[in-house]
Amino acid sequence: MKWAKGLSMIVIGIFLTVVILPVWAKEGTQRESGKTEEEQRILTLEEVLKKCTENNLEIKKASLNFNNAKISYQRGLSSYLQTGSKIDQEQTELSWERARWTFERTKSQIRLGVISDYINLKDLKAKLPLKKENVALAQRNLKRVKEKVKAGIAGKITALGAEINLQSAQQELNQIQRDLEAANKSFAYSTGIENSLQYDFVTGFEFKDSLATKSLDEYIQEALSKRKEIKFAQKEIEIANLTVEKLKMENASSLDIDKAKNDLKLAQIALEKQEEDIKEDVQNKYYNLKTVEEQISLQVIQLEKSKEELENARQQFQMGMIIKDDLTLKEISYRERKLNYEKSLGNYFVAYQNLLLAIGESLNFEGINEN
């Protein structure tokens, strides 16, 4: 992929540009946290997932349901040993397998939700000082414009435009503060980690190439062969068949046999419906992954363009062609694009994990960089 092939060059460019950015960005971040870099507490994704496993209420609830299912399974085995019923045995084993799958599936989905929260919080925390700097720039610009209007070298339209820019910058700041507050509460509920804003979120994501190495049809066929729901539905059909044969052998009433046959047809329909649902699920997850891929490809180009614009602005500032605030605007623009790109890499990781679940695979955390 184009974005993947150019990733090494872009990462080097990002590093060089970030290293030489003015001190205001670093100091701004420190002012927001109220701590110096040495005092800032580190929070990796690995630590977050561990806290999630320990504290998440939904996981605790799923664990209790799983324990109850284990008890039911043991009782079912005892019942089967007494009756010797093949149907009882199959139904007991099916219920147990479904309970184990449900428990693992629930944990995986919750963990992915927490990863998304981590990515979102990291992005919001990094953007907050930039939004505040934007407001300060807009305020200074409005002041300069008002002075020009007073001196007769600028008109009312220019002043109104400056006021609109200030209002827009303030609205963006207000929105990101609200989003950050909501994200912090959601994160605390999911992980038990209170006041996550005091931490430095350091985990990032990196990929050498596209993670979607197969076609949509290949992924669908893989899902149909691996998804547990298919196996459960097939087992339901087997049990329904056994029930029909058992009733026939016992010379049961025609009503009971007809009902059992209807149950068999319902089980067959349920299998067909499950297959269609899985196909739709895989398709949605696959297209979502491809959409994020395309987004990253575009952002790589946008990031390179923004870096070039920043370098040009630095040269113009050194030559006295623009003022410091104009240069700062370019610096903010570059940093925002960089943050958007980093967030998309995280979203790409989550999208790929969702595709793995959709085809019946386990989560795969390759691509996480905890440094």
CA distances from 325 to 16, 31, 141, 328 (A): 22, 20, 8, 5
Residue 274 domain-assigned?
yes
CA distance 161 to 149: 12
The residue range of the domain holding 225 is: 1-39+205-371
- Backbone φ and ψ of 120, nearest 5°: -65, -45
Helix (H) or strand (E) holding 368: strand 368-369
Could you give the 3-state DSSP secondary structure of residue 39?
coil
CATH code of the domain containing 319: 1.20.1600.10
Question: Tokens 């010797």 map to which residue?
Answer: 84
- Backbone φ and ψ of 61, nearest 5°: -65, -45
Report the interhelical angle of 23-33 vs 324-358 (nearest 10°).
60
Contacts of 214 (CB under 8 A, 6+ apart): 222
Q: How many domains does the chain have?
A: 1
Q: How many CA atoms lie within 13 A of 35 on its CB side?
A: 11
CA distance 273 to 290: 26
CA distance 140 to 136: 6
Are 176 and 128 within 8 A, CB to CB? yes
Q: How do strand 204-205 and strand 368-369 relate by DSSP bridges?
A: antiparallel
Contacts of 188 (CB under 8 A, 6+ apart): 194, 195, 196
* pLDDT per residue rounded down to tens, the chain (371 residues): 445 444 433 333 433 333 333 333 344 444 444 444 445 589 999 999 999 999 999 999 999 999 999 999 999 888 777 777 889 999 999 999 999 999 999 999 999 999 999 999 999 999 999 999 999 999 999 999 999 999 999 999 999 999 999 999 999 999 999 999 999 999 999 999 998 889 999 999 988 788 889 999 999 999 999 999 999 999 999 999 999 999 999 999 999 999 999 999 999 999 999 999 999 999 999 999 999 999 999 999 999 999 999 999 999 999 999 999 999 999 999 999 999 999 999 999 999 999 999 999 999 887 787 76
| Per-residue model confidence (pLDDT) at position 77 | 86
| Per-residue model confidence (pLDDT) at position 37 | 44
CA distance 230 to 281: 13
Are 18 and 338 within 8 A, CB to CB? yes
Residue 112 domain-assigned?
no
Residue 354 domain-assigned?
yes
Residue 190 domain-assigned?
no
Q: Pick from 127, 254, 102: which is nearest to 183 by CA? A: 127
Residue 176 domain-assigned?
no
Residue 69 domain-assigned?
no
Residue 53 domain-assigned?
no
Residue 269 domain-assigned?
yes
